[in-house]
Amino acid sequence: MLYYLYEYLVSQDIHIPGLNLLRYISFRAAISVLMSLAIALLYGKKIINYLRRKQMGELVRDLGLEGQKQKEGTPTMGGLIIILATLIPVLLFTQVLNVYILLLIISVVWMGAIGFLDDYLKKMKKNKDGLSGKFKVIGQVGLGLIVGITMFFHSDVVVKRKYADAQVLNRNNVEKNFMETEKSTVSTVPFVKNNEFDYSGVLFWMEESDAEKWAWIVFIPIVIFIVTAVSNGANITDGIDGLAAGTSAVILLTLAFFAYVSGNMIFSDYLNIMFLPNMGETTIFAVAMVGAVIGFFWYNTYPAQVFMGDTGSLMLGGVIAVLAIILRKELLIPVLCGIFVIENLSVMLQVAVFKYRKKRFGLEYAQMNRLFKMSPLHHHYQKSGYHESKIVNRMIIIGVMLAIVCLITLKTR
C-alpha cells in the first residue's frame, strides 16, 4: 500500500525526502523482515497468553515418549502469530495487486483457515482427530487448482528467456542474444546444462501449438500434487519443538534468494536463468515470512511455550509449495524440502512394511519388527534416546546443507 502511496505522490509532483526508498525492493524487503520479526516477538507473547486464557491447549496423545505429558496444555494455534506477522508488512510494503503476491496471500489465508478449523475442532469439540483427512485434502486440492489455473491462464504470468539470434551477427560474427516475453509452462531442471523443462513436452504426440494449448492437463494436476504433498510434509514434520519452524525458515530464505535473482534482469542474465517479470515483489513476501517464522521460533524452541498447530504447519507447507511453483523451481523441492520428504517417506514406509509383514508373518511379528521404532522419523530418534533439541538442531543443519546444494544449482549444470 505504501508503494502505491509513493506512486501517487510522485504523480502529483509531491516529493518527500526519503520516500523514494520505497522504489527499491531491497529496502522494502529489509523493512518487512524487521517489522515481521518485531510483530512476532512483541505480540507473540500476547497471543500466547490469549490462547492460554481461552484454554486452547494441545491435546497430547500418549505415545510413550519422554517428556511428552509435560506438553499437555501448551497453547496451540500459534500459527496465528506467523500469519499476522507476515500479512501486515506484506500489505504495507508490497505491490498488493501483483498476481504473485495475491496468490501468496490467498495461500496464507486459505491454508491457515483449514488448519485453524482443524485445531478448533480438536480443542473445542474434544476431537483428537480434528478435521477429517478428506476435507484437508479437498482444501489442498482447491488451493492447487487456484494456483495452477492462475499460473497457466493469467496474462501477467510470463517468462523472459534469452535466445540467440542466428540471423543478426556483430562484427566478430558472434551471435547476439535477445529477450523474448512469452507464456510458458517451462520450469527449471537442476544440474542439467539446458536446464529447462516444458510440461507441454509431455504431450509429445501433439503438434507444438496444440501441446502448448493443452499443457494444463499435465501442469495443473502436478501443481495440485505438489501443494498437497508439501503441505502434508510440513504438517508431519511439526512434531517436536522448533522442528517445523526451523526447517521452514531455511527453506523460505532460500526461496527468497531465488525470487530476488529471478526477478532482477541483471542477476538473471548473469546467472543465465529465466527472468520472471514482477517476481521481485515476492522477495518481500518471502523475507517477511522468514521474519515471522523466526519470531515464532523464539517461543517455539524447547521447551515450547506455544505450538504452531495445523494453523501454522499446513499454511507453511502450502506457501512453500506455491512459492516454489511460481518461481519455476518446483523440481528442486525434493532437495530443498528434503526434511519434509524424509519425514513423509518414513510414515509411508512404516505403514507399507507393517502391512507387508502383517500379511506375510502375522500381526505379532509385524508389531515386534517395525521398520522404525516410531514414525515420523523424528519420533524414531526420540525413541532411540536423542534429546529433542539435538534432533531439531541436526535436522536444521541438514536443511542448511540442502539449501546450499540448491543454491549451487544456479551455476552447476
Query: Structural domain boundaries of the chain?
Result: 2-157+214-332
Rounded CA separation 400/395 (Å): 9
21: left (phi over 0), alpha (psi -120 to 50) or beta: alpha
Reading the block at residue 333, the C-alpha cell is 523441492
Bridge partner list, 370: none
Say what the pLDDT of residue 175 is: 44
Rounded CA separation 367/312 (Å): 33
353: left (phi over 0), alpha (psi -120 to 50) or beta: alpha
Rounded CA separation 169/394 (Å): 54
**Alpha carbon distance, N-terminus to C-terminus of the chain:** 40
Rounded CA separation 228/236 (Å): 12
Q: What is the largest CA-CA distance in the chain?
A: 81
Parts of the chain with a pLDDT under 70: 56-70, 125-129, 162-179, 413
Q: Cβ distance 68 to 60 under 8 Å?
A: yes
Rounded CA separation 89/1 (Å): 10
For the annotated binding site, the residues are 235, 310
Interaxial angle between packed helices 309-326 and 133-153, expressed in degrees from 0 to 180 and rounded to the nearest 10:
20
Q: Cβ distance 151 to 157 under 8 Å?
A: yes
pTM: 0.92
Say what the pLDDT of residue 171 is: 47
Rounded CA separation 284/252 (Å): 11
Say what the pLDDT of residue 64 is: 63
Say what the pLDDT of residue 174 is: 46
If you search the block for the grid coordinates 516410531, which residue do you land on?
374
Say what the pLDDT of residue 377 is: 92
Residue type, 196: E
263 exposure class (CB count in 10 Å sphere: 0-12, 13-18, 19+) = buried
Reading the block at residue 291, the C-alpha cell is 521474519
Say what the pLDDT of residue 41 is: 95
Say what the pLDDT of residue 168 is: 43
Bridge partner list, 162: 179
Q: Verify cis geometry, omega within 30 degrees of 0, for the bond prior to 376.
A: yes
For the annotated binding site for Mg(2+), the residues are 235, 310
Say what the pLDDT of residue 169 is: 43
List of long-range contacts for 362-368, beta carbons under 8 Å, 24+ apart: none
Measured CA distances, 367 to 218, 345, 352 (Å): 41, 19, 13
Helix, strand, coil % over all residues of the chain, rounded to 5: 65, 5, 30
pLDDT tens readout for residues 117-126: 988 888 776 6
Reading the block at residue 4, the C-alpha cell is 502505491
Query: Which residues make Cβ contacts (< 8 Å) with residue 359, sequence separation at least 6?
Result: none
75 phi, psi to nearest 5 deg: -55, 140
